[in-house]
Amino acid sequence: MTPSTPNPRLAGGLAVVTGASRGIGRAIAATLAGAGARVVGCSVRGPEGGGSFLDDLDPDVRARCRFERCDVASPGEVAAFAERVMERDGVPEILVNNAGVVVRGPLEDLDDARWSHMMNVNVSGTFFMTRAFLRGMKLRNAGRIVNIASIAGRQGTPQLVAYCTAKHAVVGFTRALAEELRGTGIAVNAVCPGSVDTEMLQVGMPGGVPNMSPQDIANVVLFLAGDAPAALVGACVDVFG
């Protein structure tokens, strides 16, 4: 894990990162904490499955992180999680909607359950988590929301109809919400990674050749969450490596 340089803009601020137990989410959480933010990571895997969330981090960075279980596809769990976070830690300055799943295969083989799961995690999860924290951000007139979409949200890819549909929705959600919140002090942007070396790529897209690491994506999120100008809103940043 590449350490971050402390960033005065993030020091002491609160960041919530979904899907934080592994891959891109874990890299984002560690990078934001390394830059000085307090980080609450969550994942459906829960603390036991997210034990590696804290492994191999510098003790000072580890001290700024904690982990909770939350299924972003459940509006009830998200609401309860957000309430706990705000009671204990306050309203987050940064929200990173990273949790996601991928299903590969021809459309005719895609059953209702897998389609619904894809939409519930990738799309509804982003909506539920954003809604849960947005009112507090509005009251403070400040916030950075970063949604992890995909290059699949920019184009069509065979065998990935459900995933492309979900990520196109995340891109649309990002752009529409950015316009809705223009002038409020809350910046909404997205990152659209290409092929990243993660377990999700290995399981969901066997044979896929990664050309980036999770840290590459985390570095872009760090910029959007910290040093990016306030006028940068509605951007969907393609990251190809």
Residues with active-site annotation: 163
Enumerate residues 6+ apart whose C-beta is below 8 A from 25: 17, 18, 19, 41, 43, 96, 98, 99, 148
User: Taking a C-beta distance cutoff of 8 angstroms, is the pair 184, 136 a contact?
Assistant: no
Angle between helices 23-34 and 214-225 (to 10 degrees): 50
Helix (H) or strand (E) holding 82: helix 75-88
Helix, coil or strand: residue 97: strand
Axis-axis angle for helices 161-180, 112-119 (nearest 10): 30
State how far the Cα of 70 lies from the Cα of 53, in Å rounded to an integer: 14
